[in-house]
């Protein structure tokens, strides 16, 4: 028991840094987003990569109708969210 307490107290800074990195990394999400023109069905945008917490999900059509499909993985892939829809 004394050895484990001594080990934890000696490496407290490294343990705190690893825990902080894990918490910050869990707030980011991996996203696959496809945006299609609703009238013609042609692909407008395809994005696959990291989405930051302050970024919006989905897309804007700029006044014309679009169909979107967004799939996100949160918390290192533990939580999966799938959204499909149509907007302007």
Is the pLDDT reported for residue 5 higher than 90? no
Is the pLDDT reported for residue 47 higher than 70? yes
| pLDDT score recorded for residue 82 | 93
Q: Where is 67: in which H helix or E strand?
A: strand 66-74
pLDDT digits (tens, 9 = 90+) for 12-27: 999 999 999 998 888 8
Say if CB 34 and CB 69 are below 8 A apart: yes
- What does the DSSP 8-state code read for residue 57? S
Q: Taking CA 75 as the corner, what is the angle to CA 71 and CA 76, rounded to the nearest 5 degrees? A: 85
Mean pLDDT of 56-61: 66
Pairwise CA distance, residues 87 & 78, whole Å = 28
């Amino acid at each position: 028991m004394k050895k484990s307490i001594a080990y934890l107290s000696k490496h407290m800074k490294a343990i705190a840094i690893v825990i902080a990195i894990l918490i910050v990394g869990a707030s980011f999400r991996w996203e696959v987003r496809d945006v299609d023109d609703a009238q013609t069905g042609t692909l407008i945008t395809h994005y696959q990569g990291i989405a930051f917490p302050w970024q919006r999900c989905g897309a804007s059509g700029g006044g014309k109708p679009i169909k979107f499909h967004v799939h996100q993985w949160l918390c290192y892939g533990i939580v999966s969210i799938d959204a499909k829809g149509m907007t302007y």
